[in-house]
Amino acid sequence: MASCTACGFGWSWVLSDGRLKCRRCGHRWRRRSLWDASRLDSRTKTELVQRFVWGVPVYRQRFSLAASRPARERFYRLIRFAMAQAEQLREPFEGSLECDETTFGGARKGKRGWGAAGKVIVFGIIKRNGLVKAEPIPAHDRASIMQVIQAHSREGSLYYTDQWQAYATLRLRGDHVVIRKEKGRPVGRDHINGIEGFWSYAKNWLYPYRGVPKKFFHLYLGETCYRFNHRDEDLKPLIIKLLKATAFEEIDINPVQVS
């Protein structure tokens, strides 16, 4: 909850017009949106959203713009926060779901980037022909994947997974179809091509960002999910709307500890 902007008290009411009212001093204030949290002018922000949508990293923006590089980087981070939060709040999936885990990074030598310190393990769920959710997990074990499955899917779903033992308890939660593979190819008609398609989408998309700090990886992954889930829409107006609708004080995304 946001602290009072007059006295700093941490407890407030939400008024019907969306403003907050301090429970101690009665001061009223309007929550700051992510859009307003950047002091850049609207034209610059709109231009930056466009460049973000096109996938132009800040370090490739050599041409002049009325914003310093740190201000542009901060604005990009606000966009990623908004996207990651929107994806985290997306309601749980139900129906036919594919689950799978993969790793990002780890192959690069040297000290730069999240890949340098090791791999990031990511767990993903995709609705057949539809939306995806993916999150970094702290370990490659049953507890970690079940936590994501419980948070992001409804009981009674039909789960398609590979043969990994960690999925064994899924049959207690819903129906479970195990995809057997021989020499990397599924046996029979069932498959988990959907989630595998998302992995290659994400790895391609994140490739130019291989130098990002590991502590921000979850934001980049959230961005990738958002882009994938809105792949048939015009992202620019969507992102501007999202930034204006998201309160700066309510951003609360816990990065998963990656070892």
Residue 137 structure tokens? 């997990």
Which residue lies nearer to Zn ion by CB, 6 or 143? Answer: 6
Which residue lies nearer to Zn ion by CB, 15 or 25? Answer: 25
Which residue lies nearer to Zn ion by CB, 11 or 59? Answer: 11
The span of 4-12, 90-98, 166-174, 209-217 binding Zn ion (CB under 5 A) equals 4-12
Kindly state whether residue 27 participates in binding Zn ion, applying the rule CB under 5 A.
Answer: yes
- Identify the residue whose tokens are 């998302």: 198
Kindly state whether residue 134 participates in binding Zn ion, applying the rule CB under 5 A.
Answer: no
Distances (CA, A) of 142 to 94, 148, 166, 206, 258: 20, 10, 5, 26, 16
Residues 59 to 118 in contact with Zn ion, rule: CB under 5 A = none
Q: Report, in Å, the least distance between residue 23 CB and Zn ion.
A: 8
Which residue lies nearer to Zn ion by CB, 23 or 112? Answer: 23
Kindly state whether residue 7 participates in binding Zn ion, applying the rule CB under 5 A.
Answer: yes
Kindly state whether residue 9 participates in binding Zn ion, applying the rule CB under 5 A.
Answer: yes
Residue 195 neighbours by CB under 8 Å, 6+ apart: 98, 99, 100, 124, 125, 126, 132
Which residue lies nearer to Zn ion by CB, 2 or 56? Answer: 2
Length of the chain measured in residues: 259
Q: Report, in Å, the least distance between residue 36 CB and Zn ion.
A: 21
Number of chain positions touching Zn ion (CB under 5 A): 8
Distances (CA, A) of 257 to 74, 100, 136, 194, 218: 22, 20, 9, 27, 10
Q: Report, in Å, the least distance between residue 104 CB and Zn ion.
A: 44
Provide the 3-class DSSP secondary structure of residue 144.
helix
Residue 96 neighbours by CB under 8 Å, 6+ apart: 127, 128, 157, 158, 160
Positions that interact with Zn ion (CB under 5 A): 4, 6-7, 9, 22, 24-25, 27
